[in-house]
Structure 1
Amino acid sequence: MNLYFLGTGAGLPAKHRNVSSIALELLEERGSIWLFDCGEATQHRILYTNIKPAKIEKIFITHLHGDHIYGLPGLLGTRSFHGAESPLVIYGPPGIKAFVEQTLKLSFTHLKYPLITKEIFDDETVFEDDQFIVKVKKLEHGIPSFGYRIIEKDLPGTLLADRLKEIGVKPGPIYKKLKNGETVQIADGRVLNGKDFLGPVKKGRIVSILGDTRYCKQSVGLSKDADVLVHEATFAKDEELLAYNYFHSTTVQAAQIALEANAKTLWLTHISSRYQGEEDCQMLLAEARAVFPEANLAHDFLCVPIPKK
């Protein structure tokens, strides 16, 4: 599992930061990629990575401001040109379905794969299977903006193969059944419960990716005990009033959310283009770390591994 920052700027593209997009690589877990927001030129950013559009399984849109969605129609078309046939699901606020359908229709873009668009609402589970749960909450922004909480379900413990060999159970199909926690009877009549031969359960990871927002308690709830929290930090701490008026957050406010939520690490993104150069970056980072020492400042093309627990 890796987080790949494709665009970390705010509002408009800049030479050093493109507009918002983050890829969550789940190649080991499910052989696919989930994309969070798709600002203008996202597919151009993808060209400089190992991300294949055909591998994108889901796209989660936080809100409908242009710097988060203007790259979507082009990417959808490119995925088709690349020969993708697997379904793609887009999640987003009310209006995302009309935006996608109208842009594809007016540009005469015909997709070769099934496209499903699901509009999301406050405080709901938008996706769940045997591996992951994705929950959303509405944040505080000028238009409906959402945060996503991605929860990996706990994984079963490692099969204690050495212990099985000690009691005379040789490797074979029975190991798979025991690994699944099943109860099986072996050739000599003994009945073995798979749960007795498994190590401790491996706790799943939690990743919280929040859309544009003011400081709000909903952000804390979405980020509770997250292994990784991605939070916007459009402004420096001395621009708190400006951040409030524009429905955004400062570095310190993002750090405070991480602190209150007991997150493990914080990645700051959606940085205003007024902050340029290494000196500005170090200033923003220092402000956040003064509140939350595990804060980090994201930049375009940064890949962040999220190791298993």
Structure 2
Amino acid sequence: MKLQFLGTGAGIPAKARNVTSIALKLLEEKGSIWLFDCGEATQHQILHTSIKPRRIDKVFITHLHGDHLYGLPGFLASRSFQGGETPLTVYGPKGISEYVRISLAVSQTYLKYELRVVEIEEGVILEDNDFIVEARTLEHGVTSFGYRIIEKDRPGKLDKDKLLQYGIKPGPIYKKIKDGEDLILDDGTVISSQNFLGPKIKGRIITILGDTRTCDAAKELAREAKVLVHEATFSEKEASIASEYFHSTTVQAAETAKKADVDCLLLTHISARYDQSLIDQLLQEAKAIFPNTYIAEDFSEFDI
């Protein structure tokens, strides 16, 4: 499981930072990639990575501001042109369905795959065999969601030595045991698969927030997360401006991470007013509160 940042800027594209988009790579877990926001030129950013658009089967839009949304119609079209034929689902606030429908209709874009658009509300918006995704409303100028991605606990490590002692050799049966199926030996003895599995592996939690002021919903979504992705549009020196425009500062993001007891904080959505010479200053502001903090750059990748 990896996070790769395709755009880490705020508001408008800049030379060093494109506007917001984040790829959650679940290639080992599900063979797919989930995209969080799709700012202008996201498809161009993808060209500089190993990401295959056809692998992206879910897009989660946090809110309907252009720097998080304008790249979506182009990406949807390009995915079709580049061999994407499997279904794709877009999740987002009320209005996302109309935006996608009109954009594709006016441009007369034909998709070779099934496109589903889901307008979400607070609560669990997705659950499958491996993950649960929850959404909560944050504090922004428009409806803005944060997402809590919860990996379900995984089966414990297979005790292969013990299996061999029982004369059970490697093969498809090992997967059945890993999936929790009991065994029936040749003499009719039934053996529980749990006898060959170690303790369950605790699932990871990833929290990705849309634009927001400091709020309780952000803390709840981030509670005990392995990774928290939080906007840090402004320096602590611009706290009043951040509040006026419904954004957060570096220090506010760090305080949320500390209160939520997360493992790692990744800051993104950095205002273009801060060039590279000021990035270390922003980082140190956050680190003073929450030491395990990093500022994401375009194309940077983090293992989870």
Q: What does residue range 126-137 of structure 1 map to in structure 2 within 5 Å?
A: 126-137=125-136
Aligned to 1:302: 300
Counterpart of 1:283 (choices 274, 277, 281) is: 281
Please tell me whether residue 112 in structure 1 is matched to residue 112 in structure 2: yes
Change (3 A) 1:17 1:170: closer
Give the CA deviation at 1:158.
Answer: 1.5
State the shift of 1:168 in Å: 3.6
**Aligned residues between the structures:** 304
Show the counterpart of 1:196.
195
Secondary structure (helix, strand or coil) at the match of 1:3 reads strand
Determine the C-alpha separation between the residues in 2 that align with 1:173 and 1:259.
Answer: 45
* Residues 172 and 113 (structure 1), Cα distance of their counterparts in 2 relative to 1, 3 Å cut: closer
Q: What's the TM-score once normalised by structure 1's chain length?
A: 0.96
- Residue 150 of structure 1 aligns to a residue whose secondary structure is strand
Alpha-carbon distance in structure 1 between the residues aligned to 2:7 and 2:278: 18
| 3-state SS of paired residue (1:176) | helix
Match of 1:175 in 2: 174
Q: Deviations over 1:131-180 (max 9, x none)?
A: 01100000000000000001111110122111122244344444333222
Provide the C-alpha distance between the structure 1 equivalents of 2:246 and 2:64, rounded to a whole number of angstroms. 14
1:158 corresponds to: 157
Q: Describe how 1:57-72 pairs up with structure 2 within 5 A.
A: 57-72=57-72
What's the secondary structure of 2:148's corresponding residue? strand
Partner of residue 102, structure 2: 102
Instruction: Specify the alignment match of 2:75 in structure 1.
Output: 75
Residues in 1 aligned to 2:112 and 2:169: alpha-carbon distance in whole angstroms: 48
Q: Give ranges in structure 2 of 5+ residues lacking alignment.
A: none
CA spacing shift, 1:185–1:304, aligned 2, 3 Å: same
2:227 aligned with 1:220, yes or no?
Answer: no
Q: Counterparts of 1:206 and 1:76 in 2: how far apart (Å)?
A: 28
Q: Which residue does the alignment assign to 1:90?
A: 90
Q: What are the superposed Cα offsets for residues 248-283 of structure 1, whole Å, 9 maximum, x if unpaired?
A: 000000000100100000000000000002x30100
Q: Cα distance 1:295–1:173, how it changes in 2: closer, same or farther (>3 A)?
A: closer
Amino acid at match of 1:157: G
Alpha-carbon distance, 1:108 to partner: 0.8
Shift of 1:296: 0.6
> Quick one: distance in 2 between partners of 1:51 and 1:230?
20
Q: Distance between the aligned counterparts of 1:167 and 1:77, measured in 2?
A: 54
Deviation at 1:83, TM superposition (A): 2.0
The share of aligned pairs that are identical, in percent, is 59
**Corresponding residue for 2:250?**
251
Inter-partner Cα distance in structure 2 for 1:218 and 1:171: 47
Aligned residue type for 1:234 = T
AA at the equivalent of 2:267: L
1:30 match: secondary structure: coil
Query: Which residue in 2 is equivalent to 1:3?
Result: 3
Alignment RMSD (CA, Å) = 1.0
Q: Distance in 2 between matches of 1:167 and 1:53?
A: 46
> What TM-score, normalized by structure 2, do the two folds share?
0.98
**C-alpha displacement of 1:29:** 1.1
Asked if 1:37 is matched to 2:45, the reply is no
